[in-house]
Structure 1
Amino acid sequence: MNLTISGHHLDVTPALREYVVNKLDRVLRHYDQVIDAAVLLVMDNHREKDKRQRAEITLRVKGRDIFVENADGDLYAAIDLLVDKLDRQVLRHKDRLQGHPRDAIKYRSEGIEAGIS
């Protein structure tokens, strides 16, 4: 997986970079077919005072791009909530891929239809 972490109006420190990587490991445990991820950490000066720091991620997986963003007063809290949202979306995408569609009525066996009549 290619991982890009960048900051806008913010320096990405090694501690912040490692925190993001450790949090994204949880997503990779659930779904390992991730092509690449781009994380953007933003310090907003013109937004609401209590939600000044924002985290965004664009995750490219097979068949889909998943985009999630979250804002909070604390950047670490924004990253935590971002990974929670991302994890839910990745699991939902995985369930859709592995879902077993039901057979059409014309392909059902006669034994099942005889029991219904």
Structure 2
Amino acid sequence: MQVNISGHQLEVTQPLRDYVEQKLKRLEGHFDKITNVQVILSVEKLKQKIEATLHIPGNEVVANAEDSNMYAAIDALADKLDKQLKKHKEKTQSLLQGATGR
């Protein structure tokens, strides 16, 4: 999994980068076919925002989160991505089971 982390009006420090990568590794445990991840960290006034796009075979998973604390926003984003990946995995598995069950 290739991870690209960039900052918009924000310097991405090594601890932030490590924290994001740690959270994304957890996602890889649920869905191992993630090829590329684009993460954008930004600050707007008092809001810390994070956006991520996961590239998976035949699809993209996109999620956004914001909070007053960047680490809390990263946690919220990881939870959203986790839910979306589980839903996508269940959907593809049920399609495959439906195709083989005929």
Q: Does 1:93 align with 2:102?
A: no
Aligned partners of 1:91 and 1:38: how far apart in 2?
A: 19
- The 3-state SS of whatever aligns with 1:34 is coil
Aligned partners of 2:52 and 2:68: how far apart in 1?
A: 18
Letter in 1 for 2:40: L
Aligned partners of 1:13 and 1:76: how far apart in 2?
A: 12
Q: Could you say which structure has the greater relative contact order, defined with CA pairs below 8 angstroms and 6 or more residues apart?
A: 2
Q: After the TM superposition, which segments of 4 or more aligned residues of structure 1 sit over 3 Å from their partners?
A: none
Give 5+ residue unaligned stretches, structure 1: 108-117
Q: Which residue of 1 aligns with 2:39?
A: 39
Give 5+ residue unaligned stretches, structure 2: none
Q: Which residue of 2 aligns with 1:21?
A: 21
Larger Rg over CA atoms: 1
Aligned partners of 1:66 and 1:103: how far apart in 2?
A: 26
> Percent of aligned positions with the same letter in both sequences?
39
Q: Which residue of 2 aligns with 1:30?
A: 30
Aligned partners of 1:26 and 1:98: how far apart in 2?
A: 20
- What is the number of equivalent residue pairs in this alignment? 100
- What TM-score do the two structures reach when normalised by structure 1? 0.80
Aligned partners of 1:84 and 1:20: how far apart in 2?
A: 12
- The equivalent position to 1:55 in structure 2, one of 38, 42, 50, is 50
Instruction: Tell me the C-alpha RMSD between the 2 structures.
Output: 1.7
- The equivalent position to 1:78 in structure 2, one of 73, 76, 92, is 73
Aligned partners of 2:36 and 2:86: how far apart in 1?
A: 17
Q: Does 1:67 align with 2:78?
A: no
Aligned partners of 2:53 and 2:92: how far apart in 1?
A: 19
